[in-house]
Amino acid sequence: MATTMTPPKASWSASRQMRQFMAYSSMTFFGLIVLSVFLMPLGYMMTTAFKTIQQIVDVYGFILPMSPATFTYESKDYPLYKVPTDVGLQNWALVRKGREDSDFVDPANPQAGPIYWTGRWRTLAPVYNFNPTYGNFAVAWDTVQFPILFRNTFIIAIAGTIGTLLSSIAVAYGFARFRLPGKSVLFIILISTIILPSQVTLLPKYVFYRTIGWGGTWWPLIIPHFFANAYNVFLLRQYFRSIPKDLDEAAMIDGASPLQILLYVIIPQSLPALIAVGLFHFFFAWNDFFEPLIYLQGRPNLYTISIGLTQFANAFGSRPELLMAASIMAVALPILIFFLAQRVFLQGIVITGVDK
């Protein structure tokens, strides 16, 4: 009588685990490749900022800041080369260059004097050492006048962020919690402004601000953000609606007004969304170039960091090491703020014992 053999359960489980491991490994490898491609410009910026112009144009083209190694012999500096010998490659200093033979000195035993070597020294690979340069940052800092640019950009970004949060919270709270006549129509009109290109309103806004005397000031870059934004209102409205209304009703029973409900119930529960909105606007204001260029034209003492970097790039376009050093200093603060705020981004809303 024929019998059917079935694979053991342990073998099937091991095969399933192996397939899962291969799937996870493939996805991780693909993610690392995408991340590497995405971070390549940042890596180039970081490495170039610590190079000299000689290191950048070096024929070997090292990714890291590397300089030819030298050895001081009899008060003179001589380059080191990888010389093939009977005991393998040796790092020797070339003290006399010849066509078919040369003299070298062993840095480990310079008292032995020159070593005669037969061969063409041009075929030898030079020895390189890791040699970063930090002076590019000092030159860029003094040339670009970073203290003034940082101050101007920080004031504009912080003031605009405060205005964005205040106005967006108020508008989103009204759409999320209050019954208003035509509320849905008003919300659709508000959201429809997202599809309106900013270039369409640029000329009318510019003429208006010039007419009221705001030309050449920071007011056009700050005051408009105190009137909410469709993106931020939509994000906060959706977040406010996810908070159970039972909390509002409990606060109203305790005698809380709508403003108190907003301050003590809604806002504490919405910190992740509020931090996200604030950071989005801060990064936008920090990187904004077009509007400061339009409204601050002719006022270099009010320029933002984006305009300062553009002028620096125009003046030092042939010095990539200085451009990369200035760029690193420009993005240092946003990157620091972003990483410090990671905990808030990952923080969720935990509400127990309440049904929505």
Average pLDDT across the chain, whole number: 85
Give the Cα separation of 178 and 172 in Å (integer).
10
Give the Cα separation of 120 and 98 in Å (integer).
7
pLDDT tens by residue, 175-231: 998 888 888 899 999 888 888 888 888 888 999 999 998 988 999 999 999 998 888
What pLDDT score does 195 carry? Answer: 85
Q: What percent of the chain has pLDDT over 90?
A: 25
Q: How confident is the model at residue 346 (pLDDT cuts 50, 70, 90)?
A: low
Give exposure, 333-343, as e/b (b: 16+ Cβ within 10 Å): beeeeeeebee
pLDDT tens by residue, 216-247: 899 999 999 999 888 899 989 988 988 888 88
Give the Cα separation of 219 and 294 in Å (integer).
13
CA 207 vs CA 289, 313, 319: distances in Å: 19, 30, 39
Q: Is the dihedral of CA 348, 350, 354, 355 positive or negative?
A: positive
Which of 215, 202, 213, 218 has its CA nearest to residue 156?
218
